[in-house]
Amino acid sequence: MARIKVSTVVLDAHDAHELADFYCRLLGYEVRGDEPDWVLVGPPEGVEGVPLAFETEPAYVPPVWPDRGPGTQQMMLHLDIEVDDLEGGTARAVAAGAVLAAYQPQDDVRVLLDPAGHPFCLWLPADRRPADQ
């Protein structure tokens, strides 16, 4: 059987470079590939993490969070980003250019929107959550 694996996640945006810069600031990633309308970023050598790519799409329409019902624009996918400090991670994401989403469905997760409007979640692993959660 042929080997098959996901090698990266690609996100569309009005400006691939702007969004790549945001995720580099947020995740400490480095640029691994750079073309006029496409950028690949990933963790520094020896650091675990999932590479991300960004593609400029002139007709890009930002996803909607939360879903507004059948027949409307939806988020399609989101990134889950593990943190060891939810408030600190949220502050870092906002300082990098994210916006805290108005709707927050869980106490141990923070939903934010990147500069292109893609939702992403910061979450605490079970061993980092306060005892009352």
Given pLDDT bands bounded at 50, 70 and 90, which one contains residue 130?
low
Amino acid 19: pLDDT? 98
**Which residue type sits at 115?**
P
**Mean pLDDT, residues 14-32 taken together:** 98
Given pLDDT bands bounded at 50, 70 and 90, which one contains residue 70?
confident
Euclidean distance between CA atoms 48 and 72, whole angstroms: 36
Beta-carbon-side half-sphere exposure of residue 7 (alpha carbons within 13 Å): 4
Amino acid 129: pLDDT? 67
Q: In 3-state terms, what secondary structure has residue 32?
A: strand
Contacts of 61 by beta carbon, 8 Å cutoff, 6+ apart: 73
Look over the chain and give the mean of its residue pLDDT values, rounded to a whole number. 92
Q: Is the pLDDT of residue 133 over 60?
A: no
Report field, pTM of the whole predicted structure over 0.75: yes
